[in-house]
Structure 1
Amino acid sequence: MATKTKSCFTFLREALILPTRNPKLFTPVLLLLAGTAFLGPVVQVVFVQPLAYDMMIHFVEMGNMDPSSPEYAKILEEIKQDAVKLVLIVIAQLIVTLALAFLNQIIAFFAASTTYSGSRYSLAELIHEIRKGSTLKGPFITLAVVTTLNFAWMAVLTALLSAVMRGGGMLSVEGLAFALTFLAFMYFTVVALVGVAASVVDEEYRGVGALRQAWRLMTRVKRKEGLVLVLVTHLLPTVVTPLYGVVALLYAKSMAAALCMLAVYGFLSGAVQVYYLAAATVYYYEAMDSKEEAPCGYAKIPSGEGNV
């Protein structure tokens, strides 16, 4: 009997339904992700932008002053102080954002994995179950490798973009190299998500081994679904992004209205993250099931490369 062929969008429907199967867990997970998405823009609006605006005003004032005057020296000192504050805020924000992103992604992946497997934990029960075992090591190693590779990708893209700006534009050889590298980076970010899902679902995969497993699944087992996952992961957030522009417009009129819009932006961003993290987890499960059910003539993926 012929088996029923699944659509390449089936896993997206499953990911959409997944949070409704355990709302007592996914509600706090959503709030965690939304809170983190809200925190970054709030720091920008409340702290970074006012400091940057003050520095710009001081620079304008200095242009109309005598460099040897006491007022000039005073404003220069204020600019230095603002610059130090700005650097400290940006560094602190980067550290906190990375730490929260690590924790939130791991919790979200465990929530999706346990719910898909049939468990119905609360957030406290899930954290207790995670702490009981040694399952955190794999995801943390994978996320550390992914973060390192992301910084490397960004360095390469920055260098190529500089070459494009110095050269003949996007139609030049440098422009083509930048475009291809950027597309490869977009694909890699989703491979990384599936890799983290692999390290959560299967303890044998972690670090580079988890990324290799994700790469094989997305290029050899579920290629169409992998491409759909890439498109959804990158296109869905663009629906929410314009709200940040609305925040910039409201900021000039009312801080309270801007913060309210930021709350909406954070909630929708959190919902989008919950969805594509769940989609990456469901994709991994279905790709592994498809691999196990593959006919004898199919070159099965080796499973002995889980460790770094």
Structure 2
Amino acid sequence: MAAKITACFTFLKEALILPTLNPKLFAPVLLFFAVTAFLDPLVHVVFVQPLGDGMASRLTEINNTDPSSAEYGKLVEKFMETEEMKQVGKRMLRITIAQFTVGPALGLVKQILALFAASTTYSGDRYSLAGLLSELVSGRISLKGPSITIAVVGALDFAGAVLAALRYHVMGGRSGVLSVQGLVSLLAHLASLCFTVIALVGVAASVADSRKCRGVRALRQAWRLVTRVRRKEGLVLVLVAYLGPTVVAPLHRFALGYSKSSMAACLCLMAVYALLSGAQQLFSLAAATVYYYQAMENKE
């Protein structure tokens, strides 16, 4: 029994070892993951939070003023019409646009880099980052399959977000744990976790076999592997996908708590968070890749 339980975690052990087999590739990939993970809280602390604090102080001043007084009207008018507030609005708009454009693009690059790094290393190749990028740019390693699968996953994610918004609207935002709404929310969350894992394995399948396995076919293949071929390991992968971000996230909130009292401490904690977050993301992608290869070997 203990041996069977241990066997379920074997692919995680191999996923941990995988980067050590090709450090010249995984080290810069991990650094890239860490830098991108550092950018988001950095933008929040350096740009968003000061703007928000400035607006909050103005609103506090307005709220503390008697609405029937003449001063209240002047403060509101000043708040709405000053050039400073217009600039704040423009900056917030630019930051929001950047987050919704640059963020997904970086996420796509990270996913492709990590999966190709894991796949090529597991297959026995020992590329450097420059070598891998050269292969990808030249087309000797095809991006078509993973790109199609990622596009399908993105479309399904969008559809899921729309359905979640509709559910929230219909249920009025109530999500008590013991209520029907709470049960539906829990099931939706579990379904989202499972889909995340199936999507990861599906994209990993597209990376490993770009010609035959892409798009919906890759996701169907991933579904069969997770639900039929290696179900226990699939459950472990779901737990990894859930527990990884959950364990790292508190450090992010802890770091932001120091943003007003000590910027140096805040930046140091954010750097630690970024490194751990990047390592966790890279490990999840490597685990999905190893899981796919081992499941396919078991299937054969």
TM-score w.r.t. length of structure 2? 0.90
The 2-side partners of 1:169 and 1:145 are apart by: 33
Identify the match of residue 152 of structure 2 among 135, 145, 157.
Answer: 145
Task: Find out whether 1:209 has 2:213 as its counterpart.
Answer: no
Deviations 1:26-75 (A, max 9, x none): 00000011111111111111111221222222222233274785543221
Q: What number of residue pairs does the alignment pair up?
A: 289
Q: More helix per residue: 1 or 2?
A: 2
Structure 1 residue 168: deviation in Å?
7.2
Given that 1:192 and 1:214 are in contact with CA atoms closer than 8 Å, whether structure 2 keeps it comes out as yes
Task: Find out whether 1:95 has 2:101 as its counterpart.
Answer: yes
Point out where structure 1 has 5 or more consecutive residues left out of the alignment.
293-308
Identify the match of residue 72 of structure 1 among 64, 70, 76.
Answer: 76
Instruction: Pick which of 246-255 and 57-66 moved more.
Output: 57-66
Task: Find out whether 1:136 has 2:143 as its counterpart.
Answer: yes
Given that 1:67 and 1:73 are in contact with CA atoms closer than 8 Å, whether structure 2 keeps it comes out as no
Instruction: Pick which of 56-65 and 141-150 moved more.
Output: 56-65
AA matched with 1:105:
Q
The 1-side partners of 2:171 and 2:85 are apart by: 33
AA matched with 2:42:
V
Q: CA RMSD in A?
A: 2.1
The 2-side partners of 1:233 and 1:74 are apart by: 48
The 2-side partners of 1:37 and 1:95 are apart by: 15
Given that 1:191 and 1:218 are in contact with CA atoms closer than 8 Å, whether structure 2 keeps it comes out as yes
* 2:39 equivalent in structure 1: 39
Change (3 A) 1:31 1:75: same
Q: Give the percent of matched residue pairs that are identical in Structure 1 and Structure 2.
A: 55
Structure 1 residue 170: deviation in Å?
3.2
* 1:300 equivalent in structure 2: none
The 1-side partners of 2:188 and 2:160 are apart by: 8
Instruction: Pick which of 167-176 and 101-110 moved more.
Output: 167-176
Given that 2:135 and 2:141 are in contact with CA atoms closer than 8 Å, whether structure 1 keeps it comes out as no
Given that 1:109 and 1:281 are in contact with CA atoms closer than 8 Å, whether structure 2 keeps it comes out as yes
Task: Find out whether 1:106 has 2:112 as its counterpart.
Answer: yes
Structure 1 residue 156: deviation in Å?
2.4
AA matched with 2:103:
T
Given that 2:230 and 2:295 are in contact with CA atoms closer than 8 Å, whether structure 1 keeps it comes out as yes
Deviations 1:216-266 (A, max 9, x none): 110111111101011012102222111112212211211122111111110
Given that 2:119 and 2:289 are in contact with CA atoms closer than 8 Å, whether structure 1 keeps it comes out as yes
* 1:223 equivalent in structure 2: 231
Given that 2:193 and 2:241 are in contact with CA atoms closer than 8 Å, whether structure 1 keeps it comes out as no
Structure 1 residue 161: deviation in Å?
3.7
* 1:295 equivalent in structure 2: none
Change (3 A) 1:60 1:199: same
The 1-side partners of 2:97 and 2:71 are apart by: 32
The 2-side partners of 1:259 and 1:163 are apart by: 42
* 1:305 equivalent in structure 2: none
4+ residue runs of structure 1 moved beyond 6 angstroms? none
TM-score w.r.t. length of structure 1? 0.87
* 1:196 equivalent in structure 2: 203
Given that 1:102 and 1:140 are in contact with CA atoms closer than 8 Å, whether structure 2 keeps it comes out as no
* 1:60 equivalent in structure 2: 60
Point out where structure 2 has 5 or more consecutive residues left out of the alignment.
none
Deviations 1:152-184 (A, max 9, x none): 223323333444555573322222222111110
* 1:172 equivalent in structure 2: 179
Task: Find out whether 1:242 has 2:250 as its counterpart.
Answer: yes
